[in-house]
Chains A and B, each alone.
Chain A
Amino acid sequence: MARTFTEGSKAVAETVKLCRPNVIAAYPITPQTHISEELAQMVANGELKAEYVTVESEFAAASVVLGASATGARSYTATSSQGLLLMTEVLFNISGMRLPVVMTCANRAISSPINIWNDQQDSISVRDAGWVQLYAEDIQEASDLHLQAFRIAEHPEVLLPVMVCMDGFILTHAYEPVDLIEQKEADAFLPPYQPQYYLTPKNPITFGAMMGPESYMEARCQLDRALCGSTRIVEEVAKEFKKRFGRFQGALVDTYCIEGAEIVLVAMGSVISTIKEAIDLLRKEGVKVGLLKVRCFRPFPREAIKEALVGAREVLAIDRAFSPGSGGVLATEIRASLQDVKKAPEIKGHIAGLGGREISVETIINIVKDRKSVGIEDRFVDLKEALLK
Chain B
Amino acid sequence: MEKHLFLAGHTACYGCGEALGARLVVDAAGPNIITTDATGCLEVFSSRWPQSAWAVPFIHSLFENSAAVASGVEAALKALGRQGEAKVIAQGGDGGTADIGLQCLSGMFERGHDILYVCYDNEAYMNTGVQRSGLTPYDSDTRTSPFGKVSWGNRYLKKDMPAIAAAHGVPYIATASVAYPKDVQAKVKKALSITGPKYIQVHVPCPLGWKSDPALTIKVAKLAVETGLYPIFEMENGVVTKVRKIPRPAKPVGEYLKLQGRFAHLFKKGGGEGEVKKIQQIADENIKKYGLLSEAAEKVAVEAEKE
Contacts and interface: CB of A to CB of B under 8 A. Distances in A.
Report if A and B touch in the complex (beta carbons < 8 A): yes
Interface of A: 22-23, 25, 49-51, 53-57, 59-60, 63-73, 75, 89-90, 93, 97, 199-212, 215
Given A49-B79, A201-B85, 5 more contacts: A56-B106, A67-B71, A70-B73, A201-B32, A208-B61
Contacts of B49: 209-212, 215
A11 to B, nearest CB: 24
A56 B73 contact: no
A75 B65 contact: no
Interface in B9-50: 31-34, 36, 43-44, 47-50
A67 B78 contact: no
Contacts of B82: 200
Contact of A205 (B57, B61, B106): B57
A358 to B, nearest CB: 38
A263 to B, nearest CB: 47
A204 B31 contact: yes
Interface residues of B, number: 45
A64 B69 contact: yes
Most buried by A among B34, B79, B80: B79
B62 interface: yes
A60 B33 contact: no
B129 interface: no
A77 to B, nearest CB: 10
Contacts of B79: 22-23, 49-51, 68, 73
B110 A208 contact: no
A60 B65 contact: yes
Contact of A208 (B50, B56, B60, B85): B60
Contacts of B85: 200-202
Contacts of B51: 209
A25 B74 CA distance: 13
Given A59-B104, A90-B61, A200-B57, A66 B72 contact: yes
A214 B7 CA distance: 23
B78 A212 contact: no
Nearest to B90: A67
B231 to A, nearest CB: 29
Given A64-B72, A210-B49, A72 B80 contact: yes
Interface in B66-111: 68-73, 75-80, 82, 85-86, 103-104, 106-107, 110-111
Main secondary structure of the interface of B (DSSP, over half): mixed
A49 B68 CA distance: 21
Contacts of B56: 201, 204
A71 B73 contact: yes
A49 B81 CA distance: 11
Contacts of B73: 67-68, 70-71, 199
A205 B60 CA distance: 11
Contacts of A69: 72, 76
Nearest to A54: B111
Contacts of A211: 49
A66 B68 CA distance: 9
A87 to B, nearest CB: 11
A214 to B, nearest CB: 9
B180 interface: no
Contact of B68 (A51, A67, A203, A205): A67
Contacts of B147: none
B52 interface: yes
Contacts of B230: none
B290 interface: no
Interface of B: 31-34, 36, 43-44, 47-52, 54-62, 64-65, 68-73, 75-80, 82, 85-86, 103-104, 106-107, 110-111
A211 B55 CA distance: 19
Contacts of A59: 64-65, 68, 103-104
Contacts of B60: 207-210
Contact of A210 (B47, B61, B78): B47
Nearest to B87: A201
Contacts of A75: 72, 76
A206 B111 contact: no
Contacts of B71: 53, 55, 60, 63-64, 67
A56 B101 CA distance: 12
Contact of A67 (B31, B48, B61): B61
B76 A23 contact: yes
Contact of B69 (A51, A54, A57, A67): A67
A129 to B, nearest CB: 14
Nearest to A202: B85
Contacts of A60: 65, 68, 71, 103-104, 107
24 contacts: A22-B76, A22-B79, A49-B79, A53-B75, A54-B111, A55-B107, A59-B68, A59-B103, A64-B75, A66-B61, A66-B72, A67-B61, A72-B80, A73-B72, A73-B75, A97-B61, A200-B34, A200-B57, A201-B34, A206-B47, A207-B60, A208-B61, A211-B49, A212-B49
Contacts of B72: 23, 25, 53, 63-71, 73, 75
Most buried by B among A56, A69, A204, A211: A204
Nearest to A64: B72
A200 B86 contact: yes
Most buried by A among B32, B57, B64, B103: B57
Contacts of B103: 56-57, 59-60
A4 B4 CA distance: 59
A54 B111 CA distance: 8
A55 B109 CA distance: 11
A54 to B, nearest CB: 7
Closest 4 CB pairs of A and B: A67-B72, A63-B68, A71-B76, A73-B76
B7 to A, nearest CB: 12
A130 to B, nearest CB: 15
A23 B75 contact: yes
B32 to A, nearest CB: 5
Contact of B110 (A56, A97, A209): A56
Contacts of A51: 75-76, 78-79
